[in-house]
Amino acid sequence: MSVHDLMKEYIETGRIKIDKSKHPELTTYHDPCNYARKSERTFGHGYYEEPRWITQQCVDNFVDMHPNRANNYCCGGGGGAWASPYAEERIHYGRVKAKQIKDTEAKLLVAPCHNCRDQIMKAITPEYDLDVETFYLWELLSEAIVVEPWSEEEIEKSRAEAAAQWEAFGVELDEEEDDDDDWVPPET
């Protein structure tokens, strides 16, 4: 299972709740070569729709780059280029992606690949004077999650489920004493 599938499942099943108002800015999505075209060629499934869907669950204002999906432009940071000593060439190659980003007028860009994120955020954005903030997909999602405290019933239910799981796996846990109330800070 891909992290894209897992995040999508958590949203669809209601395991996590999202507040779209956390990201009001116009947002676009960059298709990384590895998760998109390479995954499609290697595994028979490119991650084009899942990350877009996740992004659109986290924001109200979404605009796609053109071209996109399998035809989206490479940012210039993949294939080991980000870690290579050829920064000038890498940044020059990224000019096409910079124009594509500018054309969207987005203020927030989602790039799930670490090479793409670094190339766009640390090289292309300053070099081509882009007015955009770059996020990982998981980072966008984590900032949009609504955190609600659990009720006592939910806490007890989760403890019972955990105990049953440990028992099913044959794991015996040592009971720990709760010494937090007796803790005294060391003297300096």
Q: Is the pLDDT of residue 78 over 90?
A: no
Within 17-136, where are the H helices? 39-43, 49-58, 87-93, 95-104, 114-118, 125-127
**For range 83-101, the mean pLDDT:** 91
Q: Is the pLDDT of residue 152 over 80?
A: yes
Tokens of 166: 């440990």
The partner residues of 133 in beta bridges, in order of sequence, read: 108
- State percent of the chain over pLDDT 90: 64
Using CA atoms, how far apart are residues 121 and 111, in angstroms rounded to an integer? 10
Give the pLDDT confidence of 162-174 residue by residue, as tens digits: 999 999 988 887 7
Let me know: does 30 contact 65? Beta carbons within 8 Å. Answer: yes
Give the pLDDT confidence of 116-127 residue by residue, as tens digits: 999 999 999 999
At residue 146, the 3 state secondary structure works out as strand
Confidence class of residue 34 from pLDDT cuts 50, 70 and 90? confident
Let me know: does 110 contact 55? Beta carbons within 8 Å. Answer: yes
The residues, ordered by sequence, that sit 6+ positions from 173 with a Cβ below 8 Å of its Cβ are 166
The amino acid at 40: E
Residue with tokens 């669809």: 12
Give the pLDDT confidence of 99-112 residue by residue, as tens digits: 999 999 999 999 99
At residue 36, the pLDDT reads 84
What is the enclosing helix (H) or strand (E) of 135?
A: strand 133-135
Let me know: does 134 contact 120? Beta carbons within 8 Å. Answer: yes
At residue 188, the pLDDT reads 55
Strands of the sheet containing 108-110, edge to edge, are 27-29, 108-110, 133-135
Q: Is the pLDDT of residue 150 over 80?
A: yes
At residue 179, the pLDDT reads 55
Residue with tokens 């882009």: 130
**For range 125-135, the mean pLDDT:** 96
Of 100, 112, 5, the C-alpha closest to 50 is: 5
At residue 180, the pLDDT reads 56
At residue 84, the 3 state secondary structure works out as coil
**For range 129-144, the mean pLDDT:** 96
**For range 13-28, the mean pLDDT:** 95
**For range 88-102, the mean pLDDT:** 94
pLDDT averaged over every residue in the chain: 90
